[in-house]
Amino acid sequence: MRAEGTAAVVTGGASGLGAATAAALAGQGAAVYAVDLPRALEVAPAVPGVEYLAADVTDPDQLRAAVATAAGGPEPLRIAVSCAGIAPGARILGRQGVHDPALFATVVQVNLVGTFHLLALAAEQIAATEPDDDGQRGVVVCTASVAAYEGQVGQAAYAASKGGVVSLTLPAARDLAQHGIRVNTIAPGIVDTPMMGQIDEEFRARLAAGVPFPHRLARPAEYAQLVLAIVEHDYLNGETIRMDGALRMAPR
């Protein structure tokens, strides 16, 4: 499947992985609808071929409206990419006491339930399109993390939410096979996104040195490149792909 001449919806599309993906898809000729929170859209870059839509991935009604907008244009909706996510850290038992249960629930709600919302609502619209000669209608790409496999100290909520995304991938692919929709997940390692902008250069250098090869942080454009490869590879389905430079995270 090719991106050209299709519509694509990308959550978390105002910055980081989502912005890079939206730009890459638009560069391939897709009509891209980048979904994010209103405050994020205030500083989102203007990109030819990318239209911004305000919606909270934890609110299915808001997200349904955004997906319907993406599906309502002249191009058939074929691609959905879930990049919206948060990564607060907290120990299960720390100096301030027990992990805040509300924080744990929020992380799971955004990272896992929000991913499911896009998966289901995009699938609903994609399933209504005409299939190609192979019966394919579209593809959904989710975002996990290497924390799903090697969660570090303070990542209980984050690792649980991303582990849920990994576990969701295969049954989702099996569920949606009858509709000609593929489902795959990318599990990035340490990516140089705006969330990393809070750390100092010395710590950034130590993080980069811990990656076997190449000795640097991943770039958002490399995530976007992998999304394009998944879109174009029609036989890739039900898979979680690590994009981490062979990194295996230490406990801390």
Q: Which of 33, 52, 149, 158 is catalytic?
A: 158
- Amino acid identity, position 62: Q
Query: At 57, phi and psi to the nearest 5?
Result: -65, -20
Q: Which tokens is 20 given?
A: 């890079």
- Tell me how many degrees the CA angle 145-55-74 measures, rounded to the nearest 5: 100
3-class secondary-structure state, position 7: strand
Report in angstroms the alpha-carbon separations of 179 from 101, 116, 124, 175, 183.
38, 17, 9, 8, 11
Specify whether the CB–CB gap between 185 and 239 falls below 8 A. yes
The verdict on whether 158 is a catalytic residue reads yes
Please tell me whether the peptide bond between 194 and the residue prior to it is cis, using omega within 30 degrees of 0.
no
How many H helices and E strands in the chain? 9, 9
| Catalytic residue ranges | 158
